[in-house]
């Protein structure tokens, strides 16, 4: 195969397929026209933005039916999320990447993984399948192997700083070399707890300190529970818990989820004179999950509860409801705090709050059904998550709606920047699309041809078997290409949300059309592929059709290819033979 073309850091052209239209409007507006969208929806008064990202919080981890096509948990209770899903706009086709770091990289940069300003596909590395796999994944992240954003990547934090916002990051970051880089390189004025770690290590403070995986700035909120704290910050948001169990918290170690809510509210109070962007990145409900990690009052509640129809883990339930209480506290604070920029109004009337997760749930703790798969996989259960937009201002979020539009994590960057009226970043493309019109206007429609995923490596363990694949979702169709056996799977998600039956043989026309779109996308982004592992026998096959490898799409007619160790095993889209 030929040598890969150099990967440019400049603007890579993609077809102009992303538009947002309002039914009855004179014509479509470009989806990336952030300033126009922002001005149209809320005039000169730039809204505050609170973005809450849950960790490993799957499609059905909450008790609201609105984000999951009527498939809520019947064991885990999340009344605050139920409320904002009812009052706001709930999305039931919201997508992410397969696990923590690629989703965070996408939403912070607004870019798909193959972009050089991103280049993060998987936590750790792309060879989490042992030494006997057929293929070997390419390097990801930075030159030294760190799965960290490059300094030149323009994050949503940087764009909001340029627009005059005060930006604060609270909690897990996971796509940086050091916690210091969050403020030095990635656009946040404050970092309260973020480091390069992917989990908290332990959920409770010890001797008034978190860590070592949690940044030291959060220790200001790590003091033991007091009676005043319990009465003001836990009791009002508690449901079905023995009051004595709440009183028993006094004098015990602070839970990090409560500390993150404390830090977020403190940041809001200190910065409400100007527009602010508060990013609350929860550690819950990531492992470790166990009785020692749960807050005692909530653990007792779930230990006493009847199991539900799906996984019913009391420790996980305590973490999930603890996160829900943090959401309730933030929403309540916005609703009861006067807005110094808008006398006579509360902060909630000029704030957009977004809640979502970073990937699908882990099956031993939560039931992603009827979706197939879990965290770490490109099945629907691995990449679909809850997404809710909420505001007390109907001009910002016209609520009590479920939106079925397929949306992706990179869209959150474009949406937040649009709400802030931020200018596009110079020299950096944007793959995400502004969703603020969908928040504000029930008649708005997002016109986008497809969403794409590319994972040129392995995540294989006791419960997962994710191998190199590329995926396109367009309308009702999801097309999956597997590089090891050069096979295609086609699913009609409208009728088969559980991906039970591939229709690739019955609908070759759809495979051909979407396969060509997938090849064009890979070619436009110069996406790297996995290579044949050293020591393997060459792979030989004959192709009539189109291949993609080494940064090029090539049409071939009855051509025999020989792939040797160290060379990329291509995507192959055969042309049907005429009889």
Q: Give the pLDDT confidence of 537-558 residue by residue, as tens digits.
A: 999 999 999 999 999 999 999 9
Residue 578: its pLDDT value, please?
66
Spacing of C-alpha 370 from chain mean position: 20
Place of tokens 């706001």: 88
- For residue 315 the two structure tokens come to 């420790």
Neighbours of 243 (CB within 10 A): 10
Residue partners of 244: CB distance under 8 A and separation at least 6: none
Considering only CA atoms, give the Rg of the chain. 24
Handedness of CA 442, 444, 450, 453 (dihedral sign): negative
Helix, strand, coil tally for the chain in percent (to 5): 25, 20, 50
Partner residues linked to 556 by β-bridges? 545
> Could you give the 3-state DSSP secondary structure of residue 452?
strand
HSE-CB of 81 using CA atoms within 13 angstroms: 35
DSSP 209: B
What pLDDT does 15 receive?
32
Contact between 289 and 315 (Cβ < 8 Å):
yes
Domains and CATH numbers, the chain: 42-130+147-449 (3.40.720.10), 531-579 (no CATH)
pLDDT of residue 14: 34
pLDDT value, residue 30: 35
Task: Give the separation between CA 320 and CA 560, rounded to whole angstroms.
Answer: 54
Return the DSSP state at 457.
S
* C-beta separation of 100 from 198 below 8 A: yes
- Tokens 């429609």 sit on residue: 445
**Residue 381 φ/ψ region, left for φ over 0, alpha for ψ in the -120 to 50 degree band, beta for the rest:** alpha
* Residues paired with residue 445 on neighbouring β-strands, in sequence order: 21
Q: Which residues, 6 or more positions from 143, have their beta carbon under 8 angstroms from its beta carbon?
A: none
Beta strand 451-455 with 469-474 is antiparallel
CA pair distance 331, 78, nearest whole angstrom: 14
Is residue 191 helix, strand or coil?
A: strand
Per-residue H/E/C for 58-98: CCCCCCCCCCCCCCCCCCCCCHHHHHHHHHCEEEEEEECCC
Q: Could you give the CA distance from residue 330 to residue 347 in angstroms, rounded to a whole number?
A: 11
Are the beta carbons of 576 and 10 closer than 8 angstroms?
Answer: no
426-447: buried (b, 16+ CB within 10 Å) or exposed (e) per residue? eebbbbbbbbbbbbbbeebbbe
* DSSP letters for 499-532: --S--TTT-HHHHHHHHHHHHHHHHHHT----EE
| Catalytically active residues, by annotation | 100, 174
Mean pLDDT in consecutive groups of 10 residues from the start of the chain, 579 residues: 33 34 32 38 73 97 97 97 98 98 98 97 96 97 92 97 98 97 98 98 97 96 98 98 98 98 98 98 98 98 96 97 98 98 97 98 94 98 98 98 98 98 93 98 94 98 97 98 98 98 98 98 98 98 98 98 98 84
Report the DSSP pairing between strands 166-171 and 276-281: parallel
The one-character DSSP state at 334 is H
The whole-angstrom separation of Cα 307 and Cα 431 is 42
392 three-state secondary structure: coil
Instruction: Confirm if 183 and 191 have CB atoms less than 8 A apart.
Output: yes
What is the DSSP pairing of strand 89-95 with strand 407-408? parallel
pTM of the model: 0.93
Q: In this predicted structure, what is the pLDDT of residue 579?
A: 52
């Amino acid at each position: 195969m030929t040598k890969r073309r150099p990967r440019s850091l400049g603007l890579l052209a993609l077809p102009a397929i992303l538009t947002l239209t309002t039914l009855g409007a004179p014509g479509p507006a470009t989806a990336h026209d952030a300033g126009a969208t922002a001005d149209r929806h809320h005039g000169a008064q730039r809204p505050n933005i609170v973005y809450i990202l849950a960790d490993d919080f799957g499609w059905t981890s909450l008790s609201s039916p609105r984000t999951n096509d009527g498939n809520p948990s019947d064991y885990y209770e999340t009344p605050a999320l139920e409320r904002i899903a009812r009052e706001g706009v709930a999305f039931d086709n919201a997508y992410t990447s397969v696990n923590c770091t690629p989703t965070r990289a996408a939403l912070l940069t607004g870019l798909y993984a193959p972009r050089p300003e991103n280049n993060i596909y998987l936590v750790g590395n792309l060879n989490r399948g042992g030494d006997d796999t057929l293929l070997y994944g390419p390097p990801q992240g930075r030159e030294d192997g760190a799965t960290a954003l490059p300094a030149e990547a323009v994050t949503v934090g940087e764009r909001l700083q340029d627009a005059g916002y005060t930006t604060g990051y609270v909690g897990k970051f996971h796509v940086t070399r050091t916690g210091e880089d969050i403020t030095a390189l990635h656009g946040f004025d404050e970092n309260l707890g973020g480091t390069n770690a992917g989990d908290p290590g332990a959920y409770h403070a010890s001797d008034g300190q978190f860590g070592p995986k949690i940044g030291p700035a959060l220790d200001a909120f790590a003091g033991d529970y007091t009676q005043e704290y319990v009465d003001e910050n836990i009791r009002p948001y508690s449901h079905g818990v023995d009051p004595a169990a709440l009183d028993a918290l006094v004098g015990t170690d602070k839970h990090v989820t409560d500390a993150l809510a404390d830090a977020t509210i403190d940041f809001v109070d200190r910065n409400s004179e100007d527009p602010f962007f508060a990013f609350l990145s929860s550690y819950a409900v990531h492992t470790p999950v166990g009785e020692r990690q749960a807050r005692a009052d909530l653990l007792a509640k779930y230990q006493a509860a009847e199991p539900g129809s799906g996984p019913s883990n009391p420790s996980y339930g305590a973490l999930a409801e603890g996160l829900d209480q943090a959401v309730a506290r933030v929403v309540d604070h916005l609703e009861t705090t006067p807005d110094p920029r808008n006398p006579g109004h509360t902060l909630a009337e000029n704030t957009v709050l977004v809640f979502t997760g970073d990937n699908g749930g882990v099956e031993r703790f939560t039931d992603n059904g009827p979706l197939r798969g879990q965290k770490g996989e490109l099945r629907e259960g691995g990449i679909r998550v809850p997404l809710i937009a909420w505001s007390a201002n109907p001009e910002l979020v016209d609520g009590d709606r479920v939106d079925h539009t397929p949306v992706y994590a990179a869209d959150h960057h474009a949406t937040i920047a649009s709400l802030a009226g931020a200018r596009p970043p110079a020299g950096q493309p944007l793959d995400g699309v502004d969703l603020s019109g969908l928040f504000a206007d029930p008649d708005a429609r997002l016109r986008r041809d497809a969403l794409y995923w590319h994972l040129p490596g392995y995540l294989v363990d006791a419960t997962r078997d994710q191998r190199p694949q590329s995926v396109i979702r367009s309308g009702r169709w999801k097309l999956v290409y597997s590089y090891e056996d050069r096979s295609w799977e086609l699913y009609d998600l409208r009728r088969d949300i559980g991906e039970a039956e591939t229709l690739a043989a019955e609908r070759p026309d759809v495979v051909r059309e979407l396969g060509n779109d997938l090849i064009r996308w890979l070619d436009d982004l110069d996406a790297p592929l996995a290579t044949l592992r050293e020591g393997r026998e060459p792979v030989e096959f004959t192709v009539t059709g189109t291949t993609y490898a080494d940064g090029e799409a090539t049409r071939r007619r009855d051509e025999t290819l020989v792939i040797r160790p160290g060379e990329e095993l291509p995507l192959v889209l055969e042309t049907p033979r005429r009889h």
